[in-house]
Amino acid sequence: MDQSLITKRIIANAFKLLMQKESFIKISVSDIMKNADMRRQTFYYHFQDKYELLEWIFKTESKENISDLIGYERWDIILKQIFVYFDREQKFYKNALAVSEQNQFIEYLYSNLKSLFSRALSDIHHPTEVTFNENNNLISSFLSHGLVGVIKDWIQSGCQIPPEEMAEYMSRDLLNKMHDKE
């Protein structure tokens, strides 16, 4: 891992720790860098502002927790890992979802979930089927929008249902819905 990426991760972790206790608005770049035990100028070498940092976290973590795993894990296992991840990081994401000026989280989550569902559909259906080819994008989009909403509501309500149960419920019902389309 190159030094720039290591520094970005240190800054991001310091920011995430602060966001577990404080709202986004109350956190300054100085607070972040004090928590990271780095000079304030280092922040501006890597990020323009705290909005860009927040976007970088969304982009990086959604990629690491979803799209990087698509070729290696079954979609239902990835879905479980997503819920476990958001349960563990719920304080940060609850505060991040409250940032009205920023909805990149939803966009990145949607994009990565759409890739996940495209993969799930191709695993369930034979890819040469005409109906599969015509409807794959539409079905993946529909499922992704729905799951983004479910995850957002679940986080905002404090992840009251255990993540393993949420994943089981979602994958079982989604699998049934996808099989019903055959």
Structure tokens at 160: 């009251």
Helix, strand and coil in the chain, % to nearest 5: 80, 0, 20
Rounded Cα distance, 178 and 126, in Å: 13
Cβ–Cβ < 8 Å for 115, 70: yes
* CB-based burial label for 131 (10 Å; 0-12, 13-18, 19+): exposed
Rounded Cα distance, 28 and 49, in Å: 10
Which superfamily is assigned to 1-47 in CATH?
A: Homeodomain-like (1.10.10.60)
Domain segments of the chain: what residues? 1-47, 51-180
Q: What is the DSSP letter of 107?
A: H
Question: Taking the CB of residue 3, how many other CB atoms lie within 10 A of it?
Answer: 7
Q: Considering the entire predicted model, what is its pTM?
A: 0.81
List the chain pLDDT tens, one digit each, 182 residues.
Answer: 688 899 999 999 999 999 999 999 999 999 999 999 999 999 999 999 999 999 999 888 887 877 777 777 888 888 889 999 999 999 999 988 888 776 678 888 888 888 888 877 776 665 555 454 567 888 888 888 999 999 999 999 999 999 999 998 888 776 665 555 54
Which superfamily is assigned to 51-180 in CATH?
A: Tetracycline Repressor, domain 2 (1.10.357.10)
